[in-house]
Chain A
Amino acid sequence: MNVITDPVLSRIREHDIDLHDRIVAAISELSPAAAELACAYEHASPQLMRRYQAGALEARLSLAGRPDLPAEVAEVLARDDSEQVRAELARNQATTDRTLALLATDSDAWVKRAVHRHPNASEETKAAVALTTAPEELKPAAPHVNVYLDPATPSEQLRDYAAAAIEGDPSMAGNLRYLLRNPSLPDDVIPELLPAAASLADWTSLWERGRPTRPSRLWPSTLAFTMPNTPPWVRESLTKAGHPAGLITLGARVAPSTGSAPEALMQLVDSELLIRALWRELALRGVVELHYWNDEFEGDKFFPSRGNDESLMDPHGPIQFIVGGWAEHREWIEREDWLTLDTIYRVASFHMEDVVEHLDPELTDVSVDTFAVIGIAHATEEQGMKLTLTPEGERAFEQHAKNLSFESNDYMTTVTVTGSALPSIGYADTSTEQKLALAQLLLDSRVDPRIDMWGIANHFLMCLAWHPDTSEPVLDLLRAEGER
């Protein structure tokens, strides 16, 4: 498994190891997900590991995959109640024969198989497995090798696959996502490959390329900024050490940034701290409207719009998925309930195109009443006619909406901004120094082709330009950049 790195925590560790360990311990206490991340963090202390060896399942799973697990913790995990934890330990390439011997008589067949195949397993340990396992279960299965994903595939061959993808070879359509994750694929082909990526899976592979993703793409220090219960001293220490979230934390002083600009921006994007700071304020000020598109097929999109101004975001590219895609929880917005009258209007109006322009045989099968509902919805939504439904009309709309091919997960909802659980994250009330540093971070992050070509940095620069509280020095910087 991947070990999570964190340049901000590493910087603190260089100067004050005691403070570092206290911060990591404090982060681990924030939530089970935080404990899981802290237990996967590269510099987690042995004390922290001992503390979580009997902690929540997620934390134990993180521990079981670590390459530096203390022997006594490994022995505790070898007796863990969860076969998932024991299997993770048995697959961990750093697990010693002493621990593998404990797992050799495990009740779970998968654990025993992993022990039998383990390079550190001694002949005695393997024999112990064989004693309680049928020989056919221990036969090595024919390994399934995905050549696109396999780091052992020669880089010249990977270049050929990349060239095929760039040329639009159909055989690459479902395999590009694997190729993009292959660490042996030379980085210099990425800018050329970017336009060939055409699905959420491709885009996600690109976005995650070269970064640890399990248990999270976030640094533990970034997670700390997303939690309302993080002690203020932890946030302050992280800000002082140059965490990029300090740029959108009210009252924080700007410290020299830690990590590269693209890495820093990716943290602000993946944690959604930046959209919380900017989109939320822009929506509250009436500069943009926020929308949510439910789409089970392509993936959900969450995005701001400003009338018909399409310069905000490319509606067909990856930005709406990467910057504001599906998220399990966003407490700062409320989404419209399914099938309100507004939803019916919007979704029904989409059908007009199907009915009239494509003469869709399935939709022309609708009743004349449903056709009228579609037409009225379209006239209101798309043509902007000020038609008013009577109470009877509202009932008819609700009734006939059921006849349309409504998919609860394929429609656009309006979004209402609510209170933020993280009141210290914002933009308007940050200092000019912070605003300037944020603008500079966005400009600098464009060295990464994903951030540049997908328009991510430019989108946020535009948000700064539109924000009523962006001060003159920042606007000067943006103007100078615009002229360049």
Chain B
Amino acid sequence: MTVPAFDELTAALSDALQREWDEESLAVLNADHDACLGLAIAHGVRHGWLATPLPDDAMACLASAHQFVQQLDRAGDV
């Protein structure tokens, strides 16, 4: 799996979260716990709410979120 640069990753995750939300899809809420937190953290980074660099456990959540979004992409959901 290719891991994009941090800014690119958080922007992509935040966009994916926003699209899911706009479509009133509950898929995000069915994501595993870490992926769910990763999406929230990505959104916080994108909006300048969180100081960076993030700690390792938060980065691991971003990785889970990335994996989740890729699965949604493959399923044609996002």
- A372 and B43 contact, CB distance less than 8 A: yes
What is the number of contacts between chain A and chain B, taking CB atoms within 8 Å?
A: 86
Q: Is the CB of A376 within 8 A of B44?
A: yes
Select which of A356, A375, A396 is within 8 A of B41 by beta carbon: A375
For B58, give its contact among A359, A372, A379, A396 (CB under 8 Å): A379
The reply to whether B57 and A371 form a contact with Cβ atoms under 8 Å apart is no
Q: Does A385 contact B49, Cβ atoms closer than 8 Å? A: no
Structural contact, A368 and B41, CB atoms closer than 8 A: no
Query: In the assembled complex, how far is the CB of residue A26 from the closest CB belonging to chain B, in whole angstroms?
Result: 60
Q: How far is the CA of A383 from the CA of B34 in the complex (A)?
A: 10
A385, B58: Cβ atoms under 8 Å?
A: yes
Could you name 7 residue pairs across A and B whose Cβ atoms are closer than 8 Å?
A: A359-B26, A373-B40, A378-B37, A385-B58, A386-B55, A389-B50, A393-B44
The answer to the question of A82 belonging to the interface, with a C-beta cut-off of 8 Å to chain B, is: no
Q: How large is the interface on B (under 10, 10 to 19, 20 to 34, 35 or more residues)?
A: 20 to 34
Known: A359-B26, A368-B21, A376-B41. A383 touches B57 (CB 8 A): yes
Taking chain B's interface residues, is the majority helix, strand, or loop, or is none over half, making it mixed? Answer: helix
Interface of A is mostly: helix
Cα–Cα distance between A393 and B49 once the two chains are bound (Å): 3
| B40:A375 contact, CB within 8 angstroms | yes
A387 contacts which chain B residues (CB < 8 A)?
41, 44, 50-51, 54-55, 58
**Which 9 residue pairs across A and B have the least CB separation, nearest first?**
A375-B40, A393-B49, A372-B43, A368-B21, A388-B51, A372-B40, A379-B37, A386-B55, A376-B44
Is A390 located at the chain interface by the 8 A CB criterion? yes
Q: With A388-B50, A392-B47, A393-B50 as given contacts, are A375 and B29 in contact (CB-CB < 8 Å)? A: no
* Interface positions of A from 67 to 120, Cβ below 8 Å from B: none
- Kindly list chain A residues whose C-beta atoms are within 8 Å of the C-beta of B37: 375-376, 378-379, 383
